[in-house]
Structure 1
Amino acid sequence: MSSSPTVLVVEDEDSFVEALTVGLGREGFRVQVAKDGAQALDLFDAVDPDLVLLDVMLPKVSGIDVCRELRSRSQVPIIMVTAKGAEIDTVVGLEVGADDYVTKPYRMRELVARMRAVMRRSPNGETPAPPADGGEVLQVGEVVLDPERHEVRIRGEEVALPLKEFELLALLLAHAGRVLTRDTLIDRIWGHDYVGDTKTLDVHIKRLRAKVEPDPGNPASIITIRGLGYKYAT
Structure 2
Amino acid sequence: MTRETILIVDDEKEIRDLIGIYLENEGYKVIKCGNGMEALDYLQSQDIDLIVLDIMMPKMDGMEACMKIREEKSMPIIMLSAKSEDMDKIWGLTAGADDYVTKPFNPLELIARIKSQLRRYKKFNTSLVVAQDENIIEIDDLIINIATREVRVGEREIKLTPIEFSILELLSRNKGIVFSIEKIYERVWKEDFFKSDNTVMVHIRKLREKIEEDSRKPKYIKTVWGVGYKVENM
Shift of residue 104, structure 1, vs aligned partner: 0.9
SS of corresponding position for 1:101: strand
Aligned counterparts of 1:37 and 1:89: Cα–Cα separation in 2: 18
- Structure 2 match to 1:66: 65
- Structure 1 match to 2:51: 52
Aligned counterparts of 2:107 and 2:49: Cα–Cα separation in 1: 18
Aligned counterparts of 2:9 and 2:58: Cα–Cα separation in 1: 11
Structure 2: gaps (5+ residues): 136-146, 149-234
Query: Retained in 1: the 8 A contact 2:7–2:48?
Result: yes
Q: CA 1:121/1:129 → structure 2, altered by over 3 Å: closer, same or farther? A: farther
- Structure 1 match to 2:20: 21
SS of corresponding position for 1:94: helix
SS of corresponding position for 2:102: strand
Query: Retained in 1: the 8 A contact 2:40–2:69?
Result: yes
Q: Which has the higher helix share?
A: 2
Q: CA RMSD in A?
A: 2.6
Q: CA 1:28/1:48 → structure 2, altered by over 3 Å: closer, same or farther? A: same
Query: Retained in 2: the 8 A contact 1:32–1:47?
Result: no
Aligned counterparts of 1:95 and 1:72: Cα–Cα separation in 2: 13
Shift of residue 22, structure 1, vs aligned partner: 1.0
- Structure 2 match to 1:169: none
Q: CA 1:106/1:129 → structure 2, altered by over 3 Å: closer, same or farther? A: farther
- Structure 1 match to 2:101: 102
Query: Retained in 1: the 8 A contact 2:22–2:111?
Result: no
Aligned counterparts of 1:63 and 1:97: Cα–Cα separation in 2: 11
- Structure 2 match to 1:83: 82
Aligned counterparts of 2:84 and 2:100: Cα–Cα separation in 1: 12
Query: Retained in 2: the 8 A contact 1:84–1:105?
Result: no
Shift of residue 3, structure 1, vs aligned partner: 4.0
Q: CA 1:127/1:97 → structure 2, altered by over 3 Å: closer, same or farther? A: closer
- Structure 1 match to 2:11: 12
- Structure 2 match to 1:206: none
Q: CA 1:23/1:64 → structure 2, altered by over 3 Å: closer, same or farther? A: same
Query: Retained in 2: the 8 A contact 1:37–1:58?
Result: yes
Shift of residue 38, structure 1, vs aligned partner: 0.9
- Residue type of the alignment partner of 2:67: R
Aligned counterparts of 2:46 and 2:65: Cα–Cα separation in 1: 15
TM-score (norm 1): 0.52
Aligned counterparts of 1:127 and 1:67: Cα–Cα separation in 2: 21
TM-score (norm 2): 0.52
- Structure 1 match to 2:214: none
The alignment-based identity, stated in percent, is: 37
Aligned counterparts of 1:73 and 1:127: Cα–Cα separation in 2: 18
Give per-residue Cα distances to partners, 1:44-77, cap 9 Å, x unaligned: 1212210000000111011000000001101111
Give per-residue Cα distances to partners, 1:143-201, cap 9 Å, x unaligned: xxxxx78xxxxxxxxxxxxxxxxxxxxxxxxxxxxxxxxxxxxxxxxxxxxxxxxxxxx
Shift of residue 25, structure 1, vs aligned partner: 0.6
Shift of residue 109, structure 1, vs aligned partner: 1.6
- Structure 2 match to 1:115: 114
Number of matched residues? 135
Shift of residue 83, structure 1, vs aligned partner: 1.0
Shift of residue 88, structure 1, vs aligned partner: 3.0
Structure 1: gaps (5+ residues): 138-147, 150-234
Question: Larger relative contact order (C-alpha < 8 A, sep ≥ 6)?
Answer: 1
Give per-residue Cα distances to partners, 1:71-123, cap 9 Å, x unaligned: 1101111111111424333111101111111111111221111111111122x
Query: Retained in 2: the 8 A contact 1:120–1:128?
Result: no
